[in-house]
Structure 1
């Protein structure tokens, strides 16, 4: 019994340890804040909660059905990385190039913006805040990889791994909500100038992450092309 509980807790830690570094809730919190400057505090709280919920379900769907969906549409993981990386890089570039948000006056004006509709908040929470900013192609790849481990032998394994994965994903999703919910309070400690500098830096990092994801996917595609083309070229 004790061994079973230990193994179950180990599975939870395994999934958390695999997802947490790539999701990086504290690191994404400034990006969330920079993309929600036009929303008031109550709306940011709603967005943070919905991003946590959407992330939970998106990770689980990727974990349990991702490999089947990719096989059905005949889409490879490198293609997912390239497409998702382009979306992430585009979001980072938009933040970097938006000069209208560089001044303290603009930040203060956006802080008292008009209320937005629930439908707009739901739409914004999923795209681009949940996907591809928070749960990007890297996270989906990790989730699909973890999902492959759910198909182990034995009834006990088939039961405890999915349950452990659900609990671990819920813990990670809550950490996302917590970091996003209180991102503004953390940023206030930096002051107005420090916040602007930090948000610009976060936008640049987001752009670099997108480029890195595109490069990883393109490198895998190139390696696969060389592996399949080289034998044919050598035979000529």
Structure 2
């Protein structure tokens, strides 16, 4: 049991800091402002469920999947960071286009929920390349023995479930929190969050480039 608790305490802070459900809730509120409360709650549940699947797949199969397709962690960070940065820039610099898009979706909100639940709300906004990288790194450190492996599995899975619960609570309550703080403060926080997301995407790309450059230098033969 102590090993499971230790695994949980290792994974939960690491995943929570990179997922940041509270910050993501403001973007969720902006993107879904044209939906009814019932639709928001349903969408929050879908995003939480998809985020759980992404975290579990990354924890337990991420390294194997990347190796199978020949994808390096650096390539994942560069591509994923670019997607995060571009989507954040779209939110930050083109609010008019975002509002027009919301109005276009208003007549077919049921289809819009299915369209945006996984992309972009789950991937890359909620559990993007940063979360995947952290989860892959956590899963790669799994023990090899049976009892310790089971405890590690329980602790890591519990952490992913707890993060998914935090996402669900934060996202389903996003509109009420936004209503309490007011429209002006909500827009300011949403823009600030989008800017921070842009910085996160840029940092993820930088980390990927550093990984690629380091790998290239390591691959060069040492002159005799």
Question: TM-score w.r.t. structure 1 length?
Answer: 0.86
For the residues of structure 2 that align with 1:79 and 1:52, how far apart are their CA atoms? 26
SS at 2:144's partner residue? coil
Are residue 27 (structure 1) and residue 7 (structure 2) matched?
A: no
Q: 8 Å contact 2:3–2:152 — kept in the other structure?
A: no
Q: What's the RMSD between the two structures over aligned residues?
A: 2.2
Q: 8 Å contact 1:39–1:115 — kept in the other structure?
A: no
Q: Give 1:101 deviation, angstroms.
A: 6.7
Report matched runs for 1:183-198 at 5 Å. Answer: 183-198=174-189
In the alignment, structure 1 segments of 5+ residues that lack a partner are none
Q: Deviation per CA, 1:127-177, whole angstroms, max 9, x where unpaired?
A: 010011111111111111111233x23221122211222222111100011
Question: TM-score w.r.t. structure 2 length?
Answer: 0.90
Report matched runs for 1:70-89 at 5 Å. Answer: 70-89=66-85
Q: 8 Å contact 1:15–1:146 — kept in the other structure?
A: yes
For the residues of structure 2 that align with 1:82 and 1:153, how far apart are their CA atoms? 31
For the residues of structure 1 that align with 2:25 and 2:9, how far apart are their CA atoms? 23
State the number of aligned residues: 222
Q: 8 Å contact 2:19–2:126 — kept in the other structure?
A: yes
Are residue 139 (structure 1) and residue 135 (structure 2) matched?
A: no
For the residues of structure 2 that align with 1:101 and 1:183, how far apart are their CA atoms? 22
Which of these residues, 135, 145, 152, is aligned with residue 154 of structure 1?
145
In the alignment, structure 2 segments of 5+ residues that lack a partner are none
